[in-house]
Each structure stands twice: as C-alpha cells, then as structure tokens.
Chains A and B, each alone.
Chain A
Amino acid sequence: MDWTLIFSRAVEAGIGSEAIIYALAAIGLNVQFGYTGLLNFGQAGFLAIGAYAIAVTVATFGLPFFLGVGIGLLMAVVMALLLGIPTLRLRADYLAIVTIAAAEIVRLVVRSVALSDTFGGTDGLQAFSGAFYDLNPYPPGEYGIPPIIGFDNRSMWVLTVGWSLVAIASFILFMAMKSPWGRVLKAIREDEDAVRSLGKNVFSYKMQALVIGGVIGSMGGFIFALSRSAVQPDLFSTDLTFYAYTVLILGGAARILGPIVGSMLFWLLLIFIGTGMEEAVNTGAITFITVNQVGAIRLMLVGLGLMLLLIYRPQGIFGDKREISIDAR
C-alpha cells in the first residue's frame, strides 16, 4: 500500500478543483436552502449553464472569453426567474420537482444531436479555455509541498481564481446575512406568513435568494469548465446536485463556512477511501472486489452518509439544529 500516494491524492482533492466546484455549488444552495428554505434540486442545471455559456461563446461562436462569463451570469439569472415565477408560490416539494426537471431539460438540450452544432452533443465542447490560461501569472513548473501536494502551473491558476471566487462569495454572503435583508431571508425560512404579515414581499425575497444562489452555482460551472478545458453534458446530471446537498449538510447549512469545509472534507474523504480501496485491491489486500466496484462502493458511501447525516446530525459540523429547515410547512 502506497500511503504517500493515498494521502497526496486525498489532500489534493480536498483543496483541488472538485472541492472548489462543489463549494460554490453548495454556497449557492446555502443561500437557497440553508438561509431561505427553498429546495432547489436543480443546481446542476445552473452549473451546466455557467460551463456551457463559456464553452459555447468561445468554442462555437468564437467570441471573447469575458463575454462568455457575462452571458453565463445573465443566463443563470434568467433561468432562476423562469423557475421561480411558476413555483415560488407553491409548496416546497413542488419547487423541488420543477427544479430537478428544469436541470434535466438543460442537460437533455445540450446533449441532443439536433443541437450538436452548437453544444457538441454528448461529446461536449473543448478548446475554449485558451484566453483564461493566457492570463496565468504562474510560470511553468511544479508548485506545492512535496511529496504530498503538487500542482502544475495551470492547476495553480485555476485554484487561485476558484478559491478567490469562494472567498468573495462567502464574504459578500457573510455581510449580507448580517444585514436586515439577510434577517428577512432567515425569517422566511422560519415562518413565511409572519414575514408577510409584517408587510414584506416574500415572493420577491425568495426570488432574490433563488437568483443569487443560481449565479453562485453558475460560477461553479465556470470553474468546472475551465479546470477541465472541456464540458460534457452528462457531468451535469442530478447526482451533482445531490452531492452538493451532501456537501452542504455535511458542513452545516445556514453557516458561511459550512459549504467550504463540507466540500473540502467530502472530497478528502471520498478520494481517501476510493484511492485506499483501489490500492488495497491492486496490492491484493482486498480480494473479493474488483477495481471497477470500488467506484460503486464510493457512491454507496455518499448515499449512506447523506442518510445517516440527516437522521443523526442534520446540522452537520457547524450548524444549529434549530436553524435547519427540514420540516415542511
């Protein structure tokens, strides 16, 4: 068993691009679910919109990279408005079903053969991240703390931009949630009717939460696309949303640090267990499963973890049990 390899993969995953992507997705969900109590099950759709906005703008139409970023943010706002108008007045589970359906619509549209000239079909799109990496200030080489952590200069640039986005989004939310505006959101989570009776426009506040959460999610999509220099439709399946929920609940909903710590820990554990089992199979320490089955066991653990968290510790690491909106009204 090569423990250095196992630890180094796990630590790299804990601070790597996956952790950033899921942290941003979960921060978005935190605004919607954690603070406002909205069940958005379509976060994968927002990430897909962000990723494909950059890819389509640059790779398909040959337009500038930053225009793609702008279009991505705009499209996320439009998507949130489209979803919110019909469903925000309805009960929580309706929003869940509609958002999950909308995310699937986005995925099915971008993977369709009919539109493959624009979106690239199931193969997705490549060759759009040149402009982003041209801005890279890191000279080529290896960075990190050998032998545990090592990233090349391209990864370093993605990590710098990604964690900066996480930090900025978290700081803005930290300020916003301390403000009167944030208190209204939390009040909506606790008792919507009480807020309405105080003369607040509940629908408008919910819509703002949906839009902000969606925009932060689409930033996760930017990092998703740029870190891989490619987009594929099936990366944005509903499982992505549910992993993001696991991340959020692990860290603690309605806490600024919840999604960040949750995401780092989630990936650290997932890769540690996954690589550990693969190594054990390869070195013959475990003989009754194959390497292919390790992936399935990892997924089982995510599902089991999500169930056990909600049963025994719905507040996760940092949260407060009274603040988690897990009771339907």
Chain B
Amino acid sequence: MRRAVIAFTAFMGGLIFVFLAGASTAWAAEGEEVRGTLRIQGQPVAGVKITVATDADAPVGEATTGADGAWKVAVDKAGSYKVTLDQATLPAGKALRDPDRGTLTVQVFEGNARNVLFGLVDANAPPQGQQGDGGGGSSYWTRVAQLVFEGLNLGLIIALGAVGLSLIFGTTGLTNFAHGELLTIGAFLAFFFNTVLGLHLLIAAPIALVLAAGLGWGQDRFFWGQLRRRKTGLISMMIISIGLALFLRALLLFLFGGGGESYQQYVAQAGIQIGPIAATPKSLIAMGIEIVVLIAVGLALTYTRLGKATRAVADNPALASSSGINVDRVIRLVWASGTCIAALAGILLGTTQNLNFQMGQQVLLLMFAGVTLGGLGTAFGALVGSLVVGMFVQVSTLWIPPEMKTIGALVVLIIVLMVRPQGILGRRERIG
C-alpha cells in the first residue's frame, strides 16, 4: 500500500511538473496593461477595435480582438485610462448592451493588468423575458424543436460521461465522485496541447484522449486497484474519491487559474438553419462523434469477448473470476476506456462553452441523475437515462426559468428513486 501511495504521489507530482512549465507562462504579468476578452454568450467576438487613451485624451495604443476575443494594450505607468470600444467595428448583429458605455474609465494599479469588460448583446434577439410566454402557433413548436435538439446535445455529452461512471460502478462498486474531474482533465489536456503548445485542436484532442486513457489506466493500477487489494470499504473509497475530486479541482485551479479559457479553433462559428433548428456545424459534428462513440461502446459491450467479460464482471465479479476472466484486467480496461470517453465528453463540452476548473463538477450531478434514472451499473441504462435527463433539462425551460433547469432534473432524480429505485433498465436486486 505504501508503494501505491508513493507511486500515486509521484504520479500527481509528475502531473504538476508537466503543467508548471506551460502554466507559468500564463501567470506572467509584468508591467501594467489593460486587457480583456470580448464575448457574447460565451462565444468570443473577433476583429473589434479598442483604443486606450490617458485621462487627458492622449492616445496610448490600440488593439484588435483576436480569434479568441482577447485584446490587450500595454500602458507605461499606473493611473487612470479611458478605454473606448469602436462600435462601428462590431460584427453585424452584435451591439453593446448599453450603447452609452462605449468608453470606460478604469484605474490601472502598479504592476497589475487591469481587466476591462464590455457587455455585448445580440442586437437581433428579443430582450430576455419576452420569449417563452407560450404564445402558441408555429413559433412555439420551433422553440420546442430547438430545445429538443439542445437537449439531445446535452444528453449525449452526459451519456459519454455517464457510461464510464456506470461501468466503473458496475465492475468495482465505486461511486466515483471524481468522475466530473475526469471530464475537466480531458478538456484541459487538450487545452494544454492546443493553446500552450500550439497544436491544432484536431491533433491536440487525440493526444489528450490517449493521455486520458493512460491516466485512467494508471489511476486504477496505482491507486484504486491498490485500495481494492487492501480491502478498503466501498464507502471509504467513495469518500476518498471526494478527496480526489477536491484535490484535482484545486490542482486545475492552481495550474490554469479560475477564469474561463477556450480553444484556439472552432470557437466562433456561424449558425446554420436546418428546418426549425438553428445549430452550429461544430455542434452537429460533435453530436455525430458522440453518437458514433456511444454506438461503438454499445457494440463492443454486446459482441466482443472483452465486452462480454466486462458485463460478466459487472454482474458478479466472483463468478466471473471463477470462470477464468481476469477481473483486474477487465476493471483496468474499464477505467482506461471510461476515462478516455469522459475526456472526450470534456473536450466536446469545451468546444461549446468556456473551459473552467468546475466544468466537470457542474455536470457530475446530471451524470448521477442519468445513471440513477437508467439503473446504477448498467451501461445501456446510463445511456438512456442521460438522454432523458439532457432532454428534460432543456425542454423544461419552456415552463421554468433557464437558471432553474438543473433543479428539474434533480427533482426527477429524487422522484425516480421513490417510485422505481432500480431505474428504467435496472433489476430489482441491485438496490439491496
């Protein structure tokens, strides 16, 4: 056991070491500057001109926002500066939330970089609160179609995370509270290769997935596997997974900071209209990838020898072991593939929203809801459950405010446990 913890510590230390090189550049902030990132609903806005002048209107410099929406202007000393956003350079359809606030006066302190925020809105979109008064007619059904589409999108991402969560539970009995962090780690691994090392996302993502699979394998080989061999109790392991989640989340915060990040590619994309649904090409491709991966996992579980072995171990580890299946090997494989799929979910989630150190934690409860709804420990149940949860979360915004949509899913989780605790596809004896 001591060996295991030493190995685990070395492993984590290595992780820190690998990242420090990249992260330290992100922390460097010498000299005073004014900077910011122009975003609208999480999507960066490029090509907008921003000028900085001193209080006495003497020009200091100007900048144009890059593809990631970021801009910065170095200033030579601390003091008060006027930052002006050239509203004529805003892309069509985008406008300042408050057109009078195109010029902001900010204080820059000694040795600090000052962040400046400009609030942007979609000029064409109706103001919030006007939608969804259930007006009937075709606009209502357009909205329903759009929400179902978005629900499917969310559900597929949850499903990717939940399949791993469910298989790990099925084969080892561990309720892994650190599974959300596996998504975040995947997303940030890709971010590291993409932004820090400058590889294209299409190259960075596969490297990140391979590393994530290795991480999952290592996690079981050097940590969870050792704890199992030590006959650590399941509840003990569950609380250990919470400790691991806290640790990993703080590690990501340490390395990448608390702000939002985004990939270099596929950030802003023009939407396309398919019938009643507005979508970005990247979300369609992401959904395609998700569906292919989920089908592949399903087929592998049903038809391959290893898949059958996995289901056998999930059913009854002792019996599987006595019929010649190498249980440890199966579990290690489940950890590797589960982590890899979770990392994929994280990367795909990262293309549609900002990367931050809490992104995995934020979908963890939805994954639990999906897994519980489908029946703990069954891969197919997790899939169905997640799709239902994703759909429910989005469609429920027809009736409840969007900020409360997660509540709906959690309430459903509790109600399901009251009426059918074994889930949709689970079997009665699993609830013990």
Contacts and interface: CB of A to CB of B under 8 A. Distances in A.
A98 B413 contact: yes
A123 interface: no
A307 B254 contact: no
Contact of B235 (A295, A297, A328): A328
A304 B250 CA distance: 10
B376 to A, nearest CB: 8
A104 B410 contact: yes
B233 to A, nearest CB: 4
Interface string B110-149: 0000000000000000000000000000000000000000
A296 B247 CA distance: 9
A98 B403 contact: no
Contacts of A307: 240, 243-244, 247
Given A108-B407, A114-B403, A310 B236 contact: yes
A293 interface: yes
B425 interface: no
A105 B415 CA distance: 14
B249 A86 contact: no
A39 interface: yes
Contact of A101 (B240, B244, B410, B431): B410
Given A97-B368, A112-B404, A310-B232, 5 more contacts: A86-B415, A86-B417, A97-B372, A311-B227, A328-B234
A314 B173 CA distance: 20
A73 to B, nearest CB: 23
Q: Top 8 closest A-B pairs, CB basis?
A: A303-B247, A303-B246, A306-B243, A299-B250, A327-B233, A326-B236, A328-B234, A296-B254
A94 interface: yes
Contacts of B238: 39, 93, 96
A113 B403 contact: yes
Contacts of A306: 239-240, 242-243, 246
B254 A297 contact: yes
A47 B368 CA distance: 23
Interface string A145-185: 00000000000000000000000000000000000000000
Interface in B383-432: 401, 403-404, 406-407, 410-411, 413-415, 417-418, 421, 431-432
Interface centre among B235, B368, B414 (most CB of A within 10 A): B235
B292 interface: no
A94 B250 contact: no
A245 B407 CA distance: 25
18 contacts: A87-B417, A91-B432, A93-B175, A93-B376, A100-B368, A101-B365, A104-B406, A245-B242, A249-B239, A288-B20, A288-B24, A299-B247, A300-B247, A300-B254, A303-B249, A310-B236, A314-B236, A326-B236
B417 A311 contact: no
A91 B431 contact: yes
Nearest to A295: B253
Given A86-B418, A114-B401, A296-B250, A92 B235 contact: yes
Contacts of A91: 431-432
B248 interface: yes
Contacts of A246: 243
Given A98-B414, A327-B235, A328-B234, A113 B242 contact: no
B251 A300 contact: yes
B254 to A, nearest CB: 4
A298 B250 CA distance: 8
B12 to A, nearest CB: 9
Contacts of B203: none
A233 B105 CA distance: 31
B250 A303 contact: yes
Contacts of A314: 236
Contact of B240 (A290, A300, A310): A310
